[in-house]
Amino acid sequence: MNVTLRQLRVFEMVARHLSFTRAAEELFLTQPAVSMQIKQFEDAAGLALFERLGRKIYLTEAGEEMYRLSKDIIAKMSEADLILDEIKGSEGGRLLVSVASTVQYFAIRLLAGFCKQYPKVNVNLKVTNHKGLIQLLENNETDIVLMGKPPEGLDLMSEPLLENPLVVIAPPNHHLKDKKGILLAELKNETFLMREQGSGTRTSTERFFAENGMKISANMELNNNGAIKLGVEEGLGLGVVSQHTIDSEVKTGRLVILDVQFFPLVRTWYMVRREGKRLSAVGTAFENFVRREKFRFVRLP
């Protein structure tokens, strides 16, 4: 049935008042314009929707059915308008943010600050490693990503956000804990707990040791940052992690940072999104919030 929304609205108004005159007044139309819309609606339906008995009009059986449906359709259209307005305004709407696992501690504080200003925003946060984030971006499954430097050659827009210093962590009873300027060679017999393949932290750590001619023994692989910290605390080995992730463990004395030559290795976090991706108002508000407020949420030991 080829009925326009305008015809539906005019029909609903005439059916509500059972009067062409009242409907015309409410819709600021002339009476012939209303009659024309109803005639076109009836032609499209192939049935009469009103019948006239004397000076009064009544709904036919088909008219009753259409009146019931038209109220539902008009209510749904208003709901759609409301939802679209919410998405357009930064007051509400949905925000898809994905972050590297090293960024999650900072990102959660950042989101808490953002949600205080925009309490109606519905946030979906994904935490994964560097490789996983590239996939989310490629599949267009996220709006904004906070991560280590993304590879060249993808259609991405990225802006540097904060320095991400990588440090060597050890349990508090480690024999090198008070030594200044530990040489890399002194670590050659240490076991390192390594992140999984696909982690940006792992790639940079491996590259650094290889460039310095050191083969580190990485016979234990743990696929998230929290597990690395716990493993180091329990004395399973040393770890290389972002300094942004160990604030509370260092302050409470559960982990120490070793003073190793060339460390910290300074990487950078970036705010990244797909080139040409149109951000919603809430996405833009979040980007601006991150640029403006990022330093407020940094906690380094």
Q: Least distance to ligand PGA from the beta carbon of 254, Å?
A: 21
Q: Least distance to ligand PGA from the beta carbon of 82, Å?
A: 38
Return the CA Rg of the chain: 31
Q: Least distance to ligand PGA from the beta carbon of 244, Å?
A: 10
Q: Least distance to ligand PGA from the beta carbon of 217, Å?
A: 20
Q: Which is nearer to ligand PGA, 23 or 134 (CB)?
A: 134
Q: Which is nearer to ligand PGA, 148 or 231 (CB)?
A: 148
Cα dist from 181 to 177, 205, 295, whole Å: 11, 18, 29
The SS3 call for residue 287 is helix
Look at the block and give the residue holding tokens 């009064």. 56
Q: Which is nearer to ligand PGA, 37 or 245 (CB)?
A: 245
Phi and psi at 18, nearest 5°, equal: 45, 45
Q: Which is nearer to ligand PGA, 27 or 125 (CB)?
A: 125
Q: Which is nearer to ligand PGA, 70 or 199 (CB)?
A: 199
The binding site for ligand PGA (CB under 6 A) comprises 100-102, 129-130, 147-148, 195, 199-201
Three-state DSSP string of 107-118: HHHHHHHHHHHC
Burial pattern 7-18, b for ≥16 Cβ within 10 A else e, equals bbbbbbbbbeee
Q: Least distance to ligand PGA from the beta carbon of 221, Å?
A: 13
